[in-house]
Amino acid sequence: MKKKLLSTILAGTLLLSVLTGCGSDGNQGSTSSDTGNASGSTEEQSTQQESTNASESNDETGDNEGEASLRPETLDKITVVLFGEESPRMQELMENEFQQMFIDEINTEVELMYLPWTENGAGGKVDLMIASGQEFDACIVDPRWAASSYSKGYLQDLSEVIDTYLPDWHENVDPTAFDAYRFDGGVYAIPIGNKPTGGVYSTVCVRQDIMDAIDMDNISTLDDLTAYAQKAKEQYGLYATYELATAEYIIRGTSDRNLIPLCTGIWIDQDTKELVNFIESPEFEAAVKLYNDWYAQDLIPKDILTNTVTLPFQANMTSFMRGTCGTTLIENEPGLQSVVPEAKTAEYYIAPEKPIYKKSYENTAFQVPVTSTKADRVALFVNLLQKNTEMANLFAYGVEGTDYELIDGKVSKINTEELFYEWMIYNVKISTPTTAYTDEFMEVYKNWDDKALPALSFGFSIDYSNVQTEKAQIDSAWEELATPMLAGLKDYDSNIEELKAELKKAGWDTYIAEIQRQFDEFLANK
């Protein structure tokens, strides 16, 4: 019963992206300006009336005098890079209501530049744009990408704008969020969103409708996952997954140790505080042999390393993928239901008895490239997205009455086109949950991280400056030799010694020693 409840809750937890807001910090202030003395001169009355109009305008778009004063006097423009495709409704709103709100609130026009999701991450087009000096002012980024960009000198230190231009952000977001983006005393991105992150990627997201059809009520072991995958392939023609055997839910089920991934080839034992050479671990052997077996059963697709579909699970090509703190309802289900309307999703922990770890506060932030001169405007932009309930709902759901309506305090969507990413905007302090989530689920979700333990690596970022050559060679050897093993294409016994030898030749000893040094220093200063 407890496991069944967990799966129900996880299935609902969906929110990572969009879920639960509760508080409403967003009522606009009422006009309280003095309208002037009726007996004053016409000129005085005119001046006072102008002052009143300005004050009323500020009251309509700002909450207090301090915040209103942050609005720049001159109109400027910033270019923000997002990924995916701009929906027709998003384009319309960016030309009208959204754009007007940006101008009214922060006197800034916002231009969006969309790139394919395949360009998201280190080494993609965004990095090339910065290196070539192409002008843009902000782009979403995650901690690993930020660490890579920082080491290349691509990112701007935002310390000076953080205290001044994020007044509402500081009210609604935990400052711990900055920890993943701190390097050498500076802060190199502004996180957005406020959502539970305990156990992220440690759950497996499956098709609950298939679970029900095959009479399975729980998945708690890798044997359970294998049985589910076999039946899903037999009855629905779905492959198991396009993810590699390094998926955290896979490694979680391979041993009793509590391991958290750190970087290429290195995991951290949460109990002993040791860095684990992953290829020499029993977990690596177990994971590769599991995938070898799945590949032999035709559960792993032949094009696992050449597939170009960004989200095969949503495209109804696979029966499972990694979960995200129970946010599958928002992360995966909408896209999947556009292909299979009756599909339902749920998340399960492999080895549910093991601890849940919180590896980061939030995975998404806005970077500002060194080529931009508008860090203050970007900060104001991010602050606005997290200002209050009204703003969070506007940018995630659209215009009330046109794009959504409120039913018993919850959002019922009229428009289903994507606007600003819900998963990016969602903040448990201010966002309004949709009607898809029960009150019971929302209560559990808001307290989701209460049971999560901070991972040893929480807030730790690696500086690869001293091992750039070694890292490049190790990444190359890993891609060539380890990845085919982790995809199930090459067997463990025939390939492990060559992999070990090539990694050592690439500079493994120097690489792990440098990371160990930094990690020891990090732990000593915690």
φ, ψ (nearest 5 deg) of residue 470: -60, -45
Quote the tokens at residue 318. 């696979």
C-alpha–C-alpha distance, residues 62 and 68, integer Å? 6
Give yes or no for a contact between 11 and 345, defined as CB atoms under 8 angstroms apart. yes
Quote the tokens at residue 157. 């230190």
Q: Say if strands 76-83 and 108-115 run parallel, antiparallel, or are unpaired.
A: parallel
Residue 264, pLDDT > 70, answer: yes
3-state secondary structure of 89: helix
Give yes or no for a contact between 356 and 340, defined as CB atoms under 8 angstroms apart. no
C-alpha–C-alpha distance, residues 461 and 142, integer Å? 11
What is the average pLDDT score of the chain?
86
CA distances from 356 to 14, 147, 270, 452, 455 (A): 17, 25, 11, 5, 9
Residue type, 441: F
The DSSP bridge partners found for residue 99 are none
Q: Which residue has the tokens 């990413």?
A: 421
Q: How high is the pLDDT of residue 459?
A: 73
Give yes or no for a contact between 430 and 392, defined as CB atoms under 8 angstroms apart. yes
Band (526; pLDDT cuts 50, 70, 90): low
Angle between helix axes 42-61 and 97-106 (nearest 10 degrees) is: 120
Domain spans, the chain: 63-193+362-436, 203-358, 465-524
Average pLDDT of the residues in 511-516: 97
Q: Which residue has the tokens 């940006």?
A: 102
Q: Which residue has the tokens 């930020």?
A: 146
Quote the tokens at residue 255. 């041993």
Q: How high is the pLDDT of residue 330?
A: 65
Residue 57, pLDDT > 50, answer: no
Interval 90-136: pLDDT, tens: 999 999 999 999 999 999 999 999 999 999 999 999 999 999 999 99
Residue type, 443: E
Strand ranges, E, within 181-305: 182-183, 186-187, 190-191, 203-207, 259-263, 266-269, 275-277
Average pLDDT of the residues in 353-376: 90
Interval 361-372: pLDDT, tens: 666 899 999 999
Residue 35, pLDDT > 50, answer: no
Cβ contacts of 225 within 8 Å, gap of 6 or more: 204, 219, 253, 320, 350
Number of neighbouring beta carbons within 10 Å of residue 513: 14
Q: How high is the pLDDT of residue 438?
A: 75
Give yes or no for a contact between 459 and 182, defined as CB atoms under 8 angstroms apart. yes
C-alpha–C-alpha distance, residues 345 and 359, integer Å? 24
* 3-state secondary structure labels for all residues of 375-389: HHHHHHHHHHHCCCH
Average pLDDT of the residues in 392-408: 96
C-alpha–C-alpha distance, residues 355 and 199, integer Å? 9
C-alpha–C-alpha distance, residues 327 and 439, integer Å? 16
C-alpha–C-alpha distance, residues 19 and 414, integer Å? 17
The full DSSP string for 290-347 is HHHHHHHTT-S-TTTTT---S-TTTTTSBSEEE--TTTHHHHTHHHHHTTSTT--EEE
Quote the tokens at residue 446. 């808001």
Cα end-to-end distance, the chain, whole Å: 39
Q: Say if strands 365-367 and 138-141 run parallel, antiparallel, or are unpaired.
A: antiparallel
Residue type, 29: G
CATH of domain 63-193+362-436: 3.40.190.10
Quote the tokens at residue 210. 């298939």
Q: Which residue has the tokens 């993609």?
A: 124
Fold for the domain defined by 203-358: D-Maltodextrin-Binding Protein; domain 2 (3.40.190)
Average pLDDT of the residues in 412-418: 94
Quote the tokens at residue 305. 């390393």
C-alpha–C-alpha distance, residues 207 and 227, integer Å? 13
Cβ contacts of 493 within 8 Å, gap of 6 or more: none
C-alpha–C-alpha distance, residues 187 and 219, integer Å? 40
Give yes or no for a contact between 194 and 174, defined as CB atoms under 8 angstroms apart. yes
The DSSP bridge partners found for residue 214 are none
Quote the tokens at residue 436. 């898809």
The reply to whether domains 63-193+362-436 and 203-358 share a CATH topology is yes
Interval 291-338: pLDDT, tens: 999 999 999 999 999 999 989 999 999 999 999 877 777 678 888 998
Average pLDDT of the residues in 419-443: 87
Q: How high is the pLDDT of residue 471?
A: 96
Residue 445, pLDDT > 80, answer: no
Which carries the bigger pLDDT value, residue 201 or residue 110? 110
3-state secondary structure of 225: helix
Which carries the bigger pLDDT value, residue 394 or residue 66? 394
Q: Which residue has the tokens 């505080």?
A: 273
Number of neighbouring beta carbons within 10 Å of residue 422: 27
C-alpha–C-alpha distance, residues 197 and 200, integer Å? 5
Average pLDDT of the residues in 463-474: 94
The full DSSP string for 25-60 is --PPPPP------TTS-HHHHHHHHHHHHHHHHHHH
Residue type, 279: I
> What pTM was computed for the model?
0.66
Quote the tokens at residue 45. 């009355």
Using only C-alpha atoms, the chain has a radius of gyration, in whole angstroms, of 25
Quote the tokens at residue 275. 């860095």
